[in-house]
Structures are given as C-alpha cells and as structure tokens.
Amino acid sequence: MDYPARLDVTPMDNIARWRPLFQWVLAIPHFIVARVLGSLAGIVALISWFAILFTGKMPAGMANLICMAQRYSSRTQAYAGGLVDAYPPFEFETTAADPGRYAARVEFNPALENRNRLTVGLRIIWAIPALILTIVISLVGFVCWLIGAIVVLFTGTWPAGLRDWVLKAVRAGLRLNSYMYLLTDEYPPMNFD
C-alpha cells in the first residue's frame, strides 16, 4: 500500500449508454447518507484531534468510524462518476479493511500509535497546499467526466484517459480527507497519480 488510504477500482471499458445521464441521479440517496456520515466523521475527527494532542494516540474505534465514512463516500463517488456499474451497498462496517463485497475497494492503514502532535495540531494549516492541488485535480476530473459522459452516450465505452482522471479525482479526495480526518500523519502525495 503506497499511501495509508487506497482506492482500487476494476476498470469498466464498456458501459451502458444511459448511465452517464442517470447514474449520478441514482446515487442521490448515497450522497445524502455520505453527507451525514461525513458530518459524523468530522465530529469524531475533532474529538480525535484532542485525543491525539493529549495522548499521542488515536482511539481505534474513532479511526474505524472515520474509515467507514470515507469508504462510503469514495464508493458513492466512484459509482456516481461511472467508474463502476454495480449499485453501492448501504454498508456500515467500521473497519479499516475493506470487506471486499464491492467493485470499488477502499483500504486504510490508520496510524493509531506514536502520532506526531505538531503535525496534528497544525493540520488545517499544513493541508492547504494539498487542498489546492486536490481542488485542481477534482476540477479536471469533473471536466473529464462531462466529456467522458458525452463519449459514452455515443460509443458505449469510457475513453481510458478520461476515466483515469475521474479516478484520480476520487483518489485525491480520499487521500486529502484521510489526512484531514487524522487517519494518517503522512502528507498526501503532491502529484497527479
């Protein structure tokens, strides 16, 4: 595992032509659940921030809850972005390891012990460059999704380069959120991978 938060998706070359028009609409219930879970993860991350500052450790239960919320959000984004065609499960297992029952697999290796209190204390400030890069990658990914959706409407296939940028956007968001929600002290990679 290169980074402590990893998203693997089995690429689909052929996709039903209707999917770009409606798949993101079908994901709306998941977006609502992901938003609620994201808010809960934010509250847990704030509590974890204090726990790490005082003890140097992140409680495993809190880390696992954040992992579950991040996994749910990443699966929803992968589905809405047309990276997978199977509808995501409403699954709420609080584990770092992916249960492996969905085409978009999200694995975590959260840092629980010996946390760097300085990087945790200043996390919001230090994350600004990664946030800017993630916004750029996400904007490019969105444009690639729009172009790819038009191509899929006419050809039924995802152009590999466009699909890869959509996947890069979801991965960049996952890495940034894992860093911001204190799952790791490792800075998100500053590249377009």
Using alpha carbons, select from 73, 181, 70, 192 the residue that is nearest to residue 133: 192
Burial state string for 31-66 with b = 16 or more CB within 10 A and e = fewer than 16 = bebbeebbeebeebbeebbebbeeeeebeeebbbbb
pLDDT in tens, 94-138: 999 998 889 999 999 999 999 989 989 999 999 999 999 999 999
Query: What is the arithmetic mean of pLDDT over 23-30?
Result: 93
The pTM assigned to this predicted structure is 0.92
pLDDT in tens, 38-76: 999 999 999 999 999 999 999 999 999 999 999 999 999
